[in-house]
Amino acid sequence: MQQNCFSGDLKAHKLPHRHQNRTSEKKMVKKLLVDVDCGVDDAQAIMLALADPDVQILGITCVRGNTSVDNVCKNVLRVLKVCQRLKIPVFRGASSSLLNESLNASHFHGKDGLGEAPDPEAPGLEHVQKEGAVQAMIRITTEHAGQVTLVATGPLTNLALAVKIDPSFPQKLKGLYIMGGNTDSRGNTTVCGEFNFTADPEAAYIVLNDYLCKTYLATWEFTCMNKIPWEFCDPWLDQNSEKARFMKKIFCYSMEMAKQPRFQKEMVGGDGFISCDSYAMAAAIDSSVITELEEWPVSVELSGKLTRGMMVLDKLGLLQKEHKAFIIKKCDLEKFKSMMMTALK
């Protein structure tokens, strides 16, 4: 018997009827707070949200991850400029992990995080808000209590700091969508660690333990198993728009890297294009994109020599945690592709 996705002891929920809810969902503006470490796939995710007329982004907070936090801020401003949405406030957040460890993804996204394709007319850091990211997250969520969905596509440092400053912060959220973690101990940064969680394992641990709001995880394995064929990229990037030309420019570097044997070894489920962060954003915008999910108590390994940063699914109930996270397993790939196409129109 099928269960409602928000009740019962989970194992797997297939959701064939979620498309029926989209009509009623579109009548309400979805208020998003977006926390990013803006590399190329973060840019794709932001543009996906900006293209939806029923979405209001209340602010974008920045965190070190794919590149330095200053580069992240600049990259977000570049995305907002090309989308003509520079009025959306951008906030500077954590410049390092909680333990001040250093990890970045310049080998994949380029040193600047956006494919080493600079724009001499890009907005500068003077456009970043004076208020810090963590303070802004708490303020915005308090002002819109119960209405804000937080989408986190980078290391979770800002989120961990927010809950330590204001323990009531998570309960004010409508929901939390995270791109990060893994389910089958398959890493893309270390042997068993996905990048966002490995970049700040302590922050990921705090968030998965202290955020008791509805939490959805788009994990590394999920994104790999729901790839878009490379053939999609030509019509996607060749659209006659400034957005498409911008994306083509910044995406070239990552596309070449993704096709290298080194990176192909990290992936499962065959060849294809993965816009990791866009899956979490798409799910936050339109729940009908999710077609199957599971629900388990989750945590993060902090001390293992080979497993530090690995997400742990407690399928035996040994952690005795009442709160369970929703693990996204499958998505409606055609709907996802349609949303990606619309983002660059």
Catalytic residues: 37
- What's the rounded Cα separation, in Å, for the pair 36 and 47? 13
Cβ atoms of 90 and 80 closer than 8 Å: yes
Burial of 204 (0-12, 13-18, 19+ CB in 10 A): buried
Token representation of residue 117:
């394709």
What are the residues facing 30 on neighbouring strands? 55
Q: Would you tell me the crossing angle of helices 157-165 and 133-143 to the nearest 10 degrees?
A: 60
Edge-to-edge order in the sheet of strand 325-331 = 12-14, 290-296, 325-331, 215-218, 173-179, 148-152, 30-36, 55-62, 90-92
Closest CA to 151 of 88, 96, 209, 214: 214
Burial of 6 (0-12, 13-18, 19+ CB in 10 A): exposed
